[in-house]
Structure 1
Amino acid sequence: MAEDKLFNYYERQDVLPTFGNFKSSAALEAYAGQRRELFSDKLVLPPRLFQDAEVLEFGPDSGENALVFARWGANLTLAEPNRHAHAKIHAYFAQFGQTTCLRELVSSDVEAFRSDRRFDVIDAEGFIYTVQPTENWLGIFHRLLNPDGFAVVSYYERYGGFFELALKAVHAAGKALTGRSALKTAKTLFEAKWDSIPHTRSFESRLMDVLENPFVRYRYFLDAAALCTAAHGQGFDIHSAWPSYHDSLAVYWHKKVLSGDEKLQRATRHLGRSRLSFLGGRKLYLVGKAEAVGRDLGFDRSAGARCR
Structure 2
Amino acid sequence: MPESEICYYHQKPCLRKAQVKKFVRKTNGLLRNRYGNRIKELTVRFPLTSANASELDHWIRFAASASTEKLCLDLYEKNRSSCLDLSRNEPYNFILSPFSDGRGCRLSELTLSNCTGHKINIEYKYAPFLDTLRVHFTKKNQCPLDFISALPKLPKLETLILQFSGPVQVSRALRHTFRFANFKMIVFFLGFSKLKEQPSELNVTWPEDLTFARLHIIVIKGFSGEPELMELLYFLLRRAPALESLQLETRAYEPFVFRKEKHKSEDEERCRYATEMASTHLAPKVPSTVAFSIT
Fold shared per TM-score above 0.5: no
* Structure whose residues are more often helix by fraction: 1
**TM-score normalised by the chain length of structure 1:** 0.30
Larger RCO: Structure 1 or Structure 2 (Cα < 8 Å, ≥ 6 residues apart)? 1
